[in-house]
Amino acid sequence: MSPSADFLGRDVVSARDFKRDQFEEILLGVEDLEKNRGSLDGALKGKLAALLFFEPSTRTYSSFQIAAEKLGMRVSGFAGPTGSSITKGETLHDTLRMFEGYGADVFVVRHSKMGAARFAAEISDTPVISAGDGSREHPTQAMVDLYAIRKAFGRIDGLKVGMLGDLRYGRTSSSLAYALSNFDVDITFIAPEALQMRPEVTQLLKQRGVTPKKESALKSVAGDLDVLYVTRIQKERIPDPTEYERVKGMYEVNLEALRDAKPSLKVLHPLPRVDELSTDIDETNYAQYFVQAAGGLPLRMVLLNLILGGAR
Amino acid sequence: MLVSRIEEGTVIDHIPDWKADIASRVLRLDKLAKMQADVSVVILQNVSSRRLGRKDIIKIDRWHVDEKDADILSLVFPNITVNYIDEGKVSKYQPKVPDSIEGRIRCPELNCISNTEREPVIPKFATLKRERLLQCHYCDALLAFDSVPEYVRP
């Protein structure tokens, strides 16, 4: 299978810009790469990836960096604002323009502002891949998540997926919800009211005919789920500290919380975790998050290769 | 109450009663003062109306309100009518809900890239007509038509 023209030179700013067959093409590519490790090594030799991380990142930056290097690309840019001209006040606009002048073939951009990825894609003729923009979206993480789900079940259709934690400010959850809306899945958002999914996300899902259920506690739905996608509740996001203390225990996933779960349940987490996901899950069949994390590298290699039209 | 006819200008009619100040903000009439334009503005409030019972009217002498600003005002007050007067002749303009709005409204999401100082971003919205919502082109944030006056850019 050769890369489809759908991907050549395209931007990746939102998971909702992708259709089912495009997600499937990416997932098949990752599966293929995992079977034939090394098959894409050097495929983009001589091209330049500019990784522009206006917000600090360790794992997403590293996975893009290693992916680009394995593809034979040269890598330039910065892993956070410290030590870059961002601290001097250089704008996203000017930074992109500058790196475009240096001959970048692709931009990977992380920014703290919502919508920064779409803006970057508008001002640049070079393809832009979002590595997260504020609390809006993190589309490549959603692709990683889809891959982990498919790897566990061999399919995505027909599954019941619960998304738990800080759905309002967590950028991975909105992207995953958009991605899942292309499949025949049953989605439940599990969060305290203050951290339920943003209205614009539910509105966009509604336009696609998807109306996720909403729950305030894991307990009531744990037994029904095939996939539990856990995200962290950040203390600073809840205005009232006593409210935080009240709710945090309700969203901690440990063996006790999964007492009624199906034996086939898979727990996903975009990582890093703090205390919302207990290590007592790690050695159980529920844990899919390390498999999920390992998919990040091949997925980003496949995506870069599809966009830049490398050899296969 | 007698207000003389105008020969050149705009009459915004059928504004809900006591809401002319909001209409004035959406139409950005304060810019007239900044421009030191040679115009006069009369605001009539709580005037009797056959259609609405009571209504407000804004008459602007020697100034044509931009159609796009009138369209935005119609998001908030769907019943307004706009009359342009040229050499004493009246032509009606029926404001319409636009498919998109560019540059005139700022995003309600403070953390949106379009609210970032020094980035050359022009805020853009798509209109979701049935839901009576605007949606930010960049961050997807929603803004109810009724809340538009709070977000009109100067």
Tens-level pLDDT at each residue, chain A (312 residues): 455 788 999 999 999 999 999 999 999 999 999 999 999 999 999 999 999 999 988 889 999 999 999 999 999 999 888 766 676 778 999 999 999 999 999 999 999 999 999 999 999 999 999 999 999 999 999 999 999 999 999 999 999 999 999 999 899 999 999 999 999 999 999 998 889 999 999 999 999 999 999 999 999 999 999 999 999 887 766 667 887 787 777 789 999 999 999 999 999 999 988 889 999 999 999 999 999 999 999 999 999 999 999 765
Give the model's confidence band at B32: pLDDT under 50 very low, under 70 low, under 90 confident, else very high. Answer: confident
Of B109, B120, B141, the CB nearest to A93: B120
Compute the distance between CA of residue A274 and CA of residue A56 in angstroms, rounded to an integer. Answer: 18
Amino acid at A100: E
Average pLDDT over residues B104-113: 96
Average pLDDT over residues B64-69: 94
Best mutation target among B122, B139, B142, B147 (most A Cβ atoms within 10 Å) is: B139
Confidence (pLDDT) at B20:
97
Contact state of A200 with B141 under an 8 Å Cβ cutoff: yes
Compute the distance between CA of residue A170 and CA of residue A173 in angstroms, rounded to an integer. Answer: 6
How many C-beta atoms surround the C-beta of residue B148 within 10 A?
22
Of B114, B118, B128, the CB nearest to A115: B114
Contact status, residue A253 vs residue A164, Cβ threshold 8 Å: yes
A198: nearest CA partner in chain B: B141
Q: Where do the DSSP E strands lie in A83-223?
A: 106-111, 128-133, 160-164, 186-190, 213-215
Percentage of residues of chain B with pLDDT beyond 70? 99
Instruction: Count the helices and strands in chain A (H runs, E runs).
Output: 10, 9
Tell me which residue has tokens 């950040």.
A234
Looking at A138, A151, A266, A269, which residue is catalytic? A138
For the question of residue A262 being annotated catalytic, the response is no
Classify residue B38 by burial, with Cβ atoms within 10 Å: 0-12, 13-18, 19+: exposed
> B90 pLDDT exceeds 90?
yes
A119: nearest CA partner in chain B: B138
Confidence (pLDDT) at A237:
66
- Partners of residue A89 in chain B, C-beta under 8 Å: 118
Of A115, A199, A200, the CB nearest to B113: A115
Contact state of B140 with A93 under an 8 Å Cβ cutoff: no
Q: What is the DSSP letter of B70?
A: H
Q: What are φ and ψ of residue B85, in 5° steps?
A: -120, 125
Q: What are φ and ψ of residue A76, in 5° steps?
A: -135, 170
Confidence (pLDDT) at A84:
66
How many C-beta atoms surround the C-beta of residue A192 within 10 A?
21
- Containing A217, the helix (H) or strand (E) segment is none
Give the model's confidence band at B33: pLDDT under 50 very low, under 70 low, under 90 confident, else very high. Answer: confident
